[in-house]
Amino acid sequence: MNRTLAAALGLTLLAAPAGAALTFAGPAAAQTPAAGQAAEAERLRVFLDKEYAEALKFSPQQSSSFGEKEGLDKLNDLSEAADLQRLEWRRGSVARLKAQFQRAKLPLEGQISYDMWIDELDSAELSYKYRAYDYVAGNTDTALPNFLIGSHLVEQPSDMAAYNARVMALGHAMDQVLERAKGSAAQGIRMPRFQYERAIRESTKLISGQPFDASGADSPLWADAKAKVGKLQAAGKVSPDEAQKLLDGTKTALLTGMKPGYERLIGWLQSDVANAPSGKVGAVTLPNGLAWYAAALKLQTRTDLTADQIHALGLSEVKRIQGEMDELAKKAGFPDQNAYFKELQRLDPEQPYNDQNRAEILKYSNDLIANNRTHLGSMFHVLPIYAIEVVREPSFSEVAGGAAHTNGASPDGKRPGRVYLHMLGKTPLRASLPDLMCHEGIPGHAMQGDIRVRMKDVPKFRLAARNAAFNEGWGLYSELLCKEMGVYPDIASDFMRLDGELFRAVRLVTDTGIHAQGWTEEQAVDYLKTVGHRSDDTARAETRRYIVNPGQATAYKIGMIRIVQLRDRAAKALGPKFDIKAFNDMVIASGSLTLSVLDMRVNAWIAEQKAK
């Protein structure tokens, strides 16, 4: 995720206010530092929490995402000046950290927090250096409305007044996005033409319908505002007159704040789209693009792997997984994976989405997650406690073949974890849904977020840390755990698990092919279809996702491989002492770590288990 989009979503800085604390004998409890080290660790926690409270002042949306009310009427500042201000503050914070603490005097968990705080600066430095490459105009326009709909909770009339203030601020936010897009274009850096067209289309949707025009349908934010105010009125918190005043405020904000800003952005995009590239549109085509791509890979994986190394790894993994799929296909009575895949498509052919099959898929997906909960005891002691729901992607950001994604629950559980499905175009294979719900739901991202926001005895910034290789590696590892838990109902769904892993290996090849080797969009689409078994819509949507978010697609396989390697290392080192439940608890409940820090955490855990 690019840094400006992260800021728009409220993820630039990582917050987690008080909620339901997670209590278990996890990493912090397992290690018993000496009294002096324990005191130093507590001093570090207090220091980092104080620093973090200052950091959150740069990101009012982050607080909202986790249920806090401070800054509820403000959006994040998306300007380059604000980026520099945040970076300079973080430089000062790390300098204060190093001046006041000696890493060697801290216990392991303190060292992890120390290293992660410094890593935040390292990442910010790299992101700022390549800030001109952020494709802000094609992301933030929909990210901010999604944030308001999904993360701005309205429990009191004052919350709705703050919502209206944020809607009013959307126009200024789009002006900041426009300024950055113009600055990048002046340096010869433009997002691909398809992203211009998508931004124009989606931004236009956002300012279409009531109250922007006389059509019968409500615009997305107007519908959201009416629903939020309706709940206040149903709860007896506002009178009909007060409810109308709140909605009048929303209407004014939409028409005088949001609409002009979006119109200015749309107008510039329309005037500049002829200059946007198409066909070969990877990083390699941009000024200093290969250096940017190397930085993107480092930010996404937190490793020093080169594009060539990742490409070769992808090809190797594709070959290995295809062999496993051939073996499973033979068990099902078919000569190879391609023959079996065609049979599955024959038995469950693609259908255009309609209201009935959307409802069926959502129900089945929610049932799968509920069933997965019942199997967790075989692999975990630490369990999720909050609700998780599978819902349809909002209409203004929905695309045919779009990737599912997850927003975690708030620390207090008032906002449940949500898995979003794009439901345009053609239906997926039903046999692929168990694997998807393992990855996005339980024991994947939704469970990951549930446990992370309830960690205790660690600095608050760690409660919502997001490292792509760890997070996506966990999601892919969760698919393997589901096999080991026995949740795949038949050979077909297990085959589709392998197909999902193959897809992630194909991503290693495709991402690096596009950005380092000069593949065209069509080359990547063809590879995803022929080798990755993706449909036309999905192959197109995935390719475009890789183009505008370089390196992110590589995080899945690189992270999973490392987690499995560490598990194998622990099992070999501990022999009969190895407890798979304890290992999985330790990994998921350590929070989102860089892979190097995870390596350190696992080595220490192995030593702790040996000493028992």
Please list the rounded mean pLDDT of every run of 10 residues in the chain (612 residues). 39 29 37 76 96 93 82 96 98 99 95 96 96 90 94 95 98 98 97 96 96 92 98 97 98 98 98 96 97 97 96 98 98 96 96 98 98 98 97 92 92 93 96 98 96 89 89 97 96 97 97 98 97 93 95 96 98 97 96 94 96 90
Distance CA 48, CA 423 (A): 42
Question: Which DSSP string do the residues of 242-294 spell out, in sequence order?
Answer: HHHHHHHHHHHHIIIIIHHHHHHHHHHHHHHGGGS--SS-SGGGSTTHHHHHH
Asked if omega into 428 is within 30° of 0 (cis), the reply is no
Please tell me whether residue 224 adopts helix, strand or coil conformation.
helix
pLDDT of residue 33: 63
Handedness of CA 501, 507, 508, 509 (dihedral sign): positive
List, as own/partner pairs, every contact residues 586-590 make where C-beta atoms lie below 8 angstroms and the sequence separation is at least 24, other chains included.
586/26, 586/27, 586/30, 587/474, 587/563, 588/380, 588/382, 588/443, 588/447, 588/448, 588/451, 588/452, 588/474, 589/22, 589/24, 589/26, 589/27, 589/382, 589/451, 589/452, 589/455, 590/26, 590/27, 590/112
Distance CA 198, CA 192 (A): 10
Burial of 331 (C-beta count, 10 Å sphere; 0-12/13-18/19+): exposed
Q: What phi-psi label fits residue 486: left (phi over 0), alpha (psi between -120 and 50 degrees) or beta? A: left
Nearest to 546 by CA among 298, 188, 300: 300
Give the distance, in angstroms, between the CA of residue 119 and the centroid of all CA atoms in the same chain.
19
Backbone angles phi, psi at 537, to 5 degrees: -60, -45
**How crowded is residue 599: how many other Cβ atoms within 10 Å of its Cβ?**
15
Residue 246 near residue 157, CB atoms below 8 Å? yes
Residues in contact with 258: Cβ distance below 8 Å, sequence separation at least 6, in sequence order: 167, 168, 170, 171, 206, 207, 221
Would you state the structure tokens that stand for residue 598, as one six-digit string?
Answer: 């995870």
pLDDT of residue 32: 57
Nearest to 114 by CA among 88, 94, 86, 89: 94
Nearest to 404 by CA among 380, 375, 368, 378: 368
Residue 485 near residue 379, CB atoms below 8 Å? yes
Dump pLDDT digits (tens) for 478-498: 999 999 999 999 999 999 999
Beta strand 417-421 pairing with 405-407: antiparallel
Helix/strand/coil (H/E/C) assignment for every residue in 149-201: HHHCCCCCHHHHHHHHHHHHHHHHHHHHHHHHHHHHHHCCCCCCHHHHHHHHH
pTM over 0.85: yes
Distance CA 476, CA 487 (A): 15
Q: Which residue has the tokens 């590696």?
A: 473
Backbone angles phi, psi at 210, to 5 degrees: -60, 140
Q: Which residue has the tokens 């009013």?
A: 168
Distance CA 544, CA 514 (A): 10
Handedness of CA 556, 446, 367, 152 (dihedral sign): negative
Cα within 13 Å of Cα(216), Cβ side: 0
Give the distance, in angstroms, between the CA of residue 539 and the centroid of all CA atoms in the same chain.
20
Distance CA 468, CA 20 (A): 25
Backbone angles phi, psi at 193, to 5 degrees: -60, -40
Residue 365 near residue 433, CB atoms below 8 Å? yes
Cα within 13 Å of Cα(537), Cβ side: 17
